[in-house]
A and B are shown apart, each in its own frame.
Chain A
Amino acid sequence: MLSRSSISRNAPRALAAGRRAMASAANPTFQYDVSEASGVKVANREVGGATGTLALVAKAGSRYQPFPGFSDALEKFAFKTTLKRSALRITREVELLGGEISASHSRENVVLRAKFLSGDLPYFTELLAEVASSTKFADHELSEVVSDLLKLKQQAVYSNPESVAVDAAHGVAFHRGLGSAQTPSQSTPYEKYVSGDALAQFAQDAYAKSNVALVATGPNSADVTKWVGQFFKDLPAGATSGQYKVQPTQASKYYGGEQRIPSKAGNSVVIAFPGSSAFGTAGFKAEASVLAALLGGESTIKWTPGFSLLSQATKGFNQINISTKNLAYSDAGLFTVTLSGQADQIAAASKNVVDVLKKAAAGEVASEDIKKAIALAKFRALESLQTLDTGLEATGSGLVHGSKPYQIGEIAQAVEKVSEQQVKETAQSFLSGKATLISVGDVHQLPYAEDIGLTV
C-alpha cells in the first residue's frame, strides 16, 4: 500500500514531470512543414523512421455531399479500377510492396491513407494521385462491389444504437450540412442518386487541387514535395458545373430538439449541446474540452471509476457506459454525453447527468477536479494530434478548411489557460440554451427531456 505521505511526496514530482514533457512537446519534429506543390497543399512531419504514412484529405465528407450516400460511395470507390490499372492489380502490387491502403470518411472529409516502407514513397504518391485523378467509376463495379460494401457499412452503423443516436443528434442539432447522416440509413432512398457518372462528376470536384491536402509523416519533406509536385500535376482543376458538385460551405447553425427512435438493437441516450469547433477556427473554446474531461464518465485508469463527475455520480449503475465528448468540426462543435446500456438504468442515470451539469453550472466543483480535467483535456488534445489515425485527418482538415495547421504548443497553452469561471459559464450556457436529446432503443422506458430537466 502507498502511504498518504508517499503520495503527497510524489504528486508534485509528477506535476513537474508533466511540465517537462510539455517543454519537449514544442520539439520541432512534432510540427508539420507546410508547403505547396503544383497547387496542392502538403504538410509533412519528418520522423526519419523506416516507414512512412501518406494521407490525402479531401473536403468531401457527408457535410459537403450533394445527395445522400455520395461520400460513402466515393470512399468505397477508392483504390478501385482506374484508367491505368485494375483494382485487383492495385491490391496485388500493394501487397507485394508490403504496404497498407485504406479509405474512410467523416462528416467533413474523405481520407485516403497509405502506409509503406520509406523507399516506396514515389509508388504510393503516384497511387494516391491516380486514385484521385483517374478512377473509372464503372457502373458494374458500383453494383458488384461498392453497393455491397455500402450495405455492410450501413448494417454495421445502424446495428449500433450509440452510433444511431450520435448521428441523430447531429441531424437534430444542425439539420442540413453537418446534420446530414454520415452513412445513409437502410431506409434512405440513396440508390436513385448514386450512379457511376454522378460519382465521377462528384470526384472531379472532390479531388480538385483546391479541395485536397496531402499529409505525410515519416519521409523527408523535400522528397514529399518533389513527388507530390510530379504526380499531382494532373489532378482535376475542379469547378465542374452541374448538380453533383461538392456543396459550398454553409455556416452551421445550432437548432436543438428532441428525437426518439425505437430500436431493438440496444439502448442509447445522447444529450448534446453546442460545443467548441476545431482548434485554429473562430469557434474554438478550450473550456468545452475541459468540461468534457470534467464530466467524463469513462475512466482513464483501470479498476477505478476515476475522478470525473459523471462516473462518480453514476457509480451505482453498473450496466451502462457513459462518455462525454466534444465533437469538433471546422465551424461548429457538438458537446455530447452518451449513455448506453440497460434502458431502466439509462433512464435513472440521465437525471444524474443533468444534476451534475447543474452542479458544474453553479460552480460546486472542487478546483482540484478542474485541474485534473485540464490535464486530461490537454493530454487528449495532444494525443489525438500525435496518433496517426486522428492526427493526419485533423492536420489535413485544418489545411483544406483554410484555418491554420495545428500547432501543438498553442493548443496546450489554450487548454492550460482555462479558468474555473469559464468552465462554469460554459455549463451555464448549456443549461440556458436549447439542448438536444436523442433516445434510441426501448423508448417506453427512456426519458423525455422534460423528465430529466432539460429544455429543448
Chain B
Amino acid sequence: MSAPSIANYIVKRPWLKRWMTPLANWYTDAAGYRKLGLKFDDLIPEESENVQKAIKRLPAKEAYDRVFRIRRAFQCSISHTLLPANEQIKPEEDVEYLSPIIREVEKEAKERAELETLTLRK
C-alpha cells in the first residue's frame, strides 16, 4: 500500500520521536494536501484489489465524504487555487479512516495465502 517507512523505527524511540515530531508536522503541512481539503488516506493509490475492497467497506457517510473531498481537491487543482483557511483540513481532522480497513483486508489476504499453502505435519 505505501512506500517503505521508518516511522515504526522512530516511534519506538521516544527521544527520536520527540525530536522528529515538529519536523514531521512541518513536512506534512508543507506537502499541501490539507490545503486542498484532503486527508492523508485520500492519497493512498486506489489501483489495487485490497484498497478497492477496503473502499467498498467504508461506511456510507465516510465513502460520501471521501468522494466529496477528492472532487473538491480536483476543482481546486484545475482552478489553481487553495481552499480558504477555514475549509482546509486541520491536523486533528487528518485521521486514518481507510488504513485500518486496508490493514484488515491485507491481514485476511495474508491468512488466505497462508492457509492455501499450508503443509500438515502430524
Contact with A along B18-56 (1 / 0, CB 8 A): 000000000000000000000000000000000000001
What's the Cα separation between A139 and B108 when bound, in Å?
16
B111 and A86 form a contact (CB under 8 A): yes
Residues of A with C-beta under 8 A to B57: 139-140
B120 and A89 form a contact (CB under 8 A): no
A86 and B108 form a contact (CB under 8 A): yes
Instruction: Check: B115 CB closer than 8 A to any chain A CB.
Output: yes
CB closest residue in chain B, given A141:
B57
Residues of B with C-beta under 8 A to A89: 111, 115
Contact with B along A91-107 (1 / 0, CB 8 A): 01000100000000000
Instruction: Check: B71 CB closer than 8 A to any chain A CB.
Output: no
Residues of B with C-beta under 8 A to A96: 120
Of A88, A139, A140, A144, the contact of B115 (CB 8 Å cutoff): A88
From residue A187, how far is it (CB to closest CB) to chain B in Å? 23
Q: Is the interface of A mostly helix, strand, loop or mixed?
A: helix
Instruction: Check: B103 CB closer than 8 A to any chain A CB.
Output: no
From residue B64, how far is it (CB to closest CB) to chain A in Å? 16
CB closest residue in chain A, given B57:
A140
Residues of A with C-beta under 8 A to B120: 96
Contact with B along A68-102 (1 / 0, CB 8 A): 00000000000000000010110010001000000
Interface hits, B71-122 → A, CB 8 Å: 108, 111-112, 115, 118, 120
What's the Cα separation between A384 and B120 when bound, in Å?
40
What's the Cα separation between A109 and B111 when bound, in Å?
34
From residue B109, how far is it (CB to closest CB) to chain A in Å? 10
Contact with B along A122-151 (1 / 0, CB 8 A): 000000000000000001100010000000
Residues of A with C-beta under 8 A to B118: 92
Q: Interface size for chain B: under 10, 10 to 19, 20 to 34, or 35 or more residues?
A: under 10
What's the Cα separation between A323 and B115 when bound, in Å?
48
Residues of B with C-beta under 8 A to A88: 108, 111-112, 115
CB closest residue in chain B, given A95:
B115
What's the Cα separation between A140 and B108 when bound, in Å?
13
Residue among B59, B111, B112, B115 with max Cβ neighbours from chain A (10 Å): B115
What's the Cα separation between A96 and B120 when bound, in Å?
9
CB closest residue in chain A, given B118:
A92
Contact with B along A144-166 (1 / 0, CB 8 A): 10000000000000000000000
Of B56, B59, B108, B115, the contact of A92 (CB 8 Å cutoff): B115
Residues of B with C-beta under 8 A to A139: 57, 59
What's the Cα separation between A88 and B105 when bound, in Å?
13
Residues of A with C-beta under 8 A to B108: 86, 88
Residues of A with C-beta under 8 A to B111: 86, 88-89
CB closest residue in chain A, given B116:
A92
CB closest residue in chain B, given A138:
B57
Contact with B along A279-318 (1 / 0, CB 8 A): 0000000000000000000000000000000000000000
Residue among A86, A139, A140 with max Cβ neighbours from chain B (10 Å): A140
What's the Cα separation between A139 and B101 when bound, in Å?
12
What's the Cα separation between A446 and B120 when bound, in Å?
61
CB closest residue in chain A, given B112:
A88
Residues of A with C-beta under 8 A to B112: 88
CB closest residue in chain A, given B115:
A92
CB closest residue in chain B, given A96:
B120
What's the Cα separation between A89 and B108 when bound, in Å?
10
From residue B57, how far is it (CB to closest CB) to chain A in Å? 4
Residues of B with C-beta under 8 A to A86: 108, 111
What's the Cα separation between A96 and B115 when bound, in Å?
11
Task: Offer 11 A-B interface pairs, CB within 8 angstroms, sorted by A.
Answer: A86-B111, A88-B108, A88-B112, A88-B115, A89-B111, A89-B115, A92-B115, A96-B120, A139-B57, A139-B59, A144-B56
B residues with a Cβ closer than 8 A to A are 56-57, 59, 108, 111-112, 115, 118, 120
4 A-B pairs with least C-beta separation: A140-B57, A92-B115, A88-B112, A86-B111
| New A-B contacts (7) at CB < 8 Å, excluding given A86-B108, A89-B111 | A88-B111, A89-B115, A96-B120, A139-B57, A139-B59, A140-B56, A140-B57
